[in-house]
Amino acid sequence: MNLSLLLPAALAALAALILPLLIHLARRSEQRPTDFAALRWLRQRPKPRHRIRFDEWPLLLLRLLLLALLALWLARPVLFGAESARPWIVVAPGADAQVARARADATNARLHWLAPGFPRLDAAAPPPPAPLSSLLRELDADLPAATVLSVFVPERMSGADGQRPQLSRPVEWRVLPGTTPAATPIREIVTPSPAIRYAADRATALPYLRAAIEAWRDPAVPDPSRQAPSKQDSVAPSTQALPSQSRELIWLVPGAVPAQVREFARNGGRVLLDAGSGWPSDAASPRAPLWRDASGAVLAEGVAFGRGRLMRLTRAVTPQAMPELLEPGFPRRLRELFAPSLPAPAWVSAKAHAPATGGAAYALPPRDLRLWWALLIALVFVCERWLATRARRGATP
């Protein structure tokens, strides 16, 4: 371990050590000479030379020590190499913790969950999900280079990020029976059912859009919307209110986008705007291309908007401006605009995901000693005040 100072220039404050010395020299005695008449006729003799003398050495030393500690505190003392090299054992949720406890008892290792914050294994199991690969890289960067790391994971592991972790140290990778608990059950893929609001001069686009939406439905699966139709028609003029149950909307109205449509998208809806609609001023840019034709020209672009998404066609919905309306792939491409993004698969075999070595090692930050230094200063100050105010001290401070 090495003690260092991050701000050595602050040691210039040590010049204040001369102040207690001057105070003790100036006030070393409160005695004053008194002239007597009978002594006037005595023969004068040379006065003895006075030596520099300090009174109350313990008090003086405490004051000097107090100023020295204050100067060192200003210099920001830190301690390098104070980290413990005690082995670490981390357990991923889903692995048998009893096996890890038995191993820790034999090696005197520290036991922690492989979870955000690395809580102790005595605490309750952390809730899923947990990015295990990222947590391994974080732990490897936070531990000293000499610390031995053992990782216990279930054989079917989630939380991977597509790349095999590469750490700066060899890791004992123990695969145990079990499965990482899932955060939420896999959601059923729901067919989007966008509502359409149109202006009178955009009514010619409705047959193409209705046919595409009808092509999304599987005839073998009953459609509950047909059995219990909503009071609000899914295809209606723009003067009609927006649907309250659907989270998808096709807005075929040129001009500025009204506030109700913007709020629909901001609250989690996905809105496809007409080519003649203007982008809202509060929509972020640049906008990402979402659909291209065979030549690479952009047919639809979009941007995140609040908790939802705003999209806009770049051409009018007519066969003359957009020949893709007549192609067999048009329903599929239109559906991709409204399909919710699914989470990337993260289940991996733990045996095939063992960390590799060769990663970069990072120097650990030093331990800041200013808090402990402040406590020591407070203790010395209390002792100095006790010596300075005690009842049986001399005349000098």
Q: What is the pLDDT of residue 48?
A: 55
Give the residue from 161, 168, 171 showing the smallest Cα distance to 134.
Answer: 161
Burial 372-391 (b: 16+ CB within 10 A, else e): ebeebbeebeeebeebeeee
| Spatial distance between the Cα atoms of 271 and 285, rounded to a whole number of angstroms | 16
DSSP assignment of 56-113 = -HHHHHHHHHHHHHHHHHHT-EEEES-S----EEEE-TTS-HHHHHHHHHHHT-EEEE
Q: Are 251 and 277 in contact (CB under 8 A)?
A: yes
- Kindly tell me the sign of the dihedral angle through the C-alpha atoms of 115, 117, 118, 123: negative
- pTM surpassing 0.85? no
β-bridge pairing 248-252 and 270-273: parallel
Using alpha carbons, select from 71, 68, 55, 67 the residue that is nearest to residue 388: 55
User: For each of the chain's 397 residues, which pLDDT tens digit applies?
Assistant: 678 888 888 888 888 888 877 777 776 555 566 666 565 566 666 555 555 555 677 888 888 899 899 989 998 888 876 667 789 999 998 888 888 888 877 778 889 999 888 999 888 878 877 888 889 999 998 888 888 899 999 998 887 777 788 899 999 999 988 888 865 554 555 778 899 999 999 999 999 999 999 888 766 555 544 433 343 458 999 898 888 778 899 999 999 999 999 999 999 899 999 999 988 887 767 888 999 998 999 999 999 888 889 999 999 999 999 999 999 999 999 999 988 765 555 678 888 888 988 888 777 778 888 898 999 999 999 998 888 887 655 544 4
